[in-house]
Structure 1
Amino acid sequence: MRIYAERHLQAARQVVFDLLAIAWIAGGIWWAFALRDSVLELGAPGRKLIDAGANLERTFGRASASADQVPFVGAELAGALDLGTDAGKVVAEAGHNQVEAVAWAAGAAAAGVVAVVLLVALPFWLLPRVRYARAATVAVNMRTAAPDLLALRALTELPPSRLMEVSADPAAAWRDNDREIIEQLASLRLGALGLRPITSGRRLRTGAV
Structure 2
Amino acid sequence: MRLYARTPGRLSRQVLADLIAAALILAAVKLALTVRDAVLRLAEPGRRAESAGDGLADSLGDASDVASKVPLVGDQLKKPLRSAADAGTGMADAGRSLQDTVEQVATLTAVALIAIPVVFVLLLWLPARLRWIRRSAVTRRLAAEPGGADLLALRVLTGPQRDLAALPAPPDGLAAAWRRGDDQVIADLAAIGLRQAGLHR
Q: Which amino acid aligns with 1:118?
A: V
Q: Is the 8 A contact 1:163 1:185 kept in 2?
A: no
Question: CA separation in 2, counterparts of 1:55 and 1:139?
Answer: 74
Normalised to the residue count of structure 2, the TM-score between the two structures is 0.81
By how many angstroms is 1:126 displaced?
Answer: 1.9
Structure 1-normalised TM-score?
0.78
Give 1:200's aligned residue.
none
Query: CA contact under 8 A between 1:67 and 1:74: conserved in structure 2?
Result: yes
Match of 1:49 in 2: 49
Superimposed CA distance per residue, residues 131-152 of structure 1 (whole angstroms, 9 cap, x where no aligned partner)? 2112112212322223345456
Q: Do the aligned residues in 2 keep the contact of 1:155 with 1:163 (CA within 8 Å)?
A: no
1:154 offset after TM fit, Å?
5.5
Structure 2, gaps ≥5 residues long: none
Structure 1 residues 148 and 100 mapped into 2: Cα distance closer, same or farther (>3 Å)? farther
User: In percent, how many aligned pairs have the same letter?
Assistant: 36
Distance 1:75 1:12, change over 3 A: same
Counterpart contact for 1:52–1:92, Cα < 8 Å: yes
Matches of 1:93 and 1:34 in 2, distance apart?
28
Distance in 2 of aligned mates of 1:155 and 1:54: 82
1:58 maps to which residue? 58
Deviation at 1:84, TM superposition (A): 0.8
CA spacing shift, 1:12–1:82, aligned 2, 3 Å = same
Structure with higher RCO (Cα < 8 A, 6+ apart): 2
**Pair 1:89-2:89 in alignment:** yes
- The farther-off stretch of 105-114 and 187-196 is 187-196
> Aligned equivalents of 1:179 and 1:113: distance in 2?
59
8 Å Cα contact 1:21-1:125 kept in structure 2: yes
Q: Indicate how the Cα distance of structure 1 residues 154 and 58 shifts in structure 2: closer, same or farther if over 3 A, else same.
A: farther
Q: Give the direction of change, closer, same or farther, for the CA distance of 1:47–1:191 in structure 2 (3 Å limit).
A: same
What secondary structure is seen at the aligned counterpart in 2 of 1:132?
helix
* Structure 1: distance between partners of 2:30 and 2:111: 12
Q: Which runs of 5+ in 1 are unaligned?
A: 198-209
Moved more, 16-25 or 34-43: 16-25
Say which of 142, 146, 149 aligns to 1:147. Answer: 149
Equivalent residue number for residue 192 of structure 1: 196
Q: Equivalent residue for 1:26?
A: 26
Correspondences of 1:1-209 after superposition (within 5 Å): 1-145=1-145, 146-150=148-152, 158-159=159-160, 178=181, 183=187, 186-196=190-200
- Root mean square deviation, CA, Å: 2.8
Amino acid at match of 2:120: V
